[in-house]
Amino acid sequence: MLERHAWMFSEGFGRLTEAKHLAATFGMHGNEPPEPGIRSLAKDGSFRLRQALILADMGVLIPSLDRLDVAIGGQGAMPLMNLSQAIMHTLSGIRDHLSSEYFFHLDQSDVPLYLTQEPFGSDVTRKFPKATEDIAEAAKSLALQRPTAAVFHLMRVMELALRALAKKLKVTTIDPNVESWNKITDHVNKAINGLPAKTTPEQSRKTKFGAVSAHLNSVRIAWRNEVMHPKQSYSREEAHTIFNAVRAFMIDLAALR
């Protein structure tokens, strides 16, 4: 219920339930406590529950809250005893409807993966716009506990990234679709070793390429497969490791000029 704001359901139900009990208690003796009181509490609970229902795409239940709001404080405001029964009836109807609804709960640590718009940072988004969708889907797949799907998306990201790296290094022999990780890293390291390093800018550039190569090797190790194509399945831990390795590689690659 990440985007459904589950706390709104809890707060709405809690406040309306409290208002129901108070209305029954005071209504039994015909007393009407001064405002802000039971009706304000019920109105607030109804508002919170309304927001939760809207966010949960359960608008079919909104009319029942409309009727309850009238009973709480509209022209058809009910005596407290009747209001208690109206609240009970409304909550029962919503509970019955919720019994047929299904919500996916995310581990708290995975919430940022689901919510972030730029899992690899703004620089990667700007430098590799074609990879943006797969990066975001990889993050969401991890959050939704679909680790193998996440790795498939990361494979597409790596294909694009390796072609970009090959272009920067002027290497024409890298083919991520058929070559093994070892061959790919050998091509990259050979090209980096051949970069000039006579001037300070050249040395700095070569060092940055070296960092990219190191992170590429981390990706190779994390992938746990001879070729870049994913295995049949990956655990959550394996997928998280690959995700973090690809993220570090992409951030360094995006920083290259």
**Which residue is it, tokens 């991520």?**
176
Instruction: Give per-residue pLDDT as tens, 87-110.
Output: 999 999 988 888 887 777 778 888
pTM score: 0.72
Confidence bin at 200 (pLDDT 50/70/90)? very high
Quick one: CA torsion of 10, 16, 19, 24, rounded to 10 degrees? -120
What is the reported pLDDT for 35? Answer: 46
CA quadruple 29, 35, 36, 42: dihedral sign = positive
Instruction: Give per-residue pLDDT as tens, 47-102.
Output: 999 998 888 888 889 999 999 999 998 677 888 889 999 999 999 998 888 888 77
**Which residue is it, tokens 């093994």?**
180
How would DSSP label each residue in 131-176? GHHHHHHHHHHHHTT-HHHHHHHHHHHHHHHHHHHHHHHT-----T
* Average model confidence (pLDDT) across the chain: 88
What is the reported pLDDT for 209? Answer: 93
SS3 call for 253:
helix
Segment 232-249 shows an average pLDDT of 94
CATH of 112-255, one of 3.30.1380, 1.20.120, 1.10.10, 1.10.760: 1.20.120
Better-scored residue on pLDDT, 56 or 220: 220
Burial class (CB in 10 A: 0-12, 13-18, 19+), 117: exposed
Confidence bin at 174 (pLDDT 50/70/90)? confident
Q: Is the pLDDT of residue 235 over 80?
A: yes
Better-scored residue on pLDDT, 153 or 104: 153
SS3 call for 103:
coil
38-52, 124-138, 171-185: least confident range: 171-185
What is the reported pLDDT for 31? Answer: 60
What is the reported pLDDT for 77? Answer: 81
Q: Is the pLDDT of residue 134 over 70?
A: yes
Better-scored residue on pLDDT, 101 or 45: 45
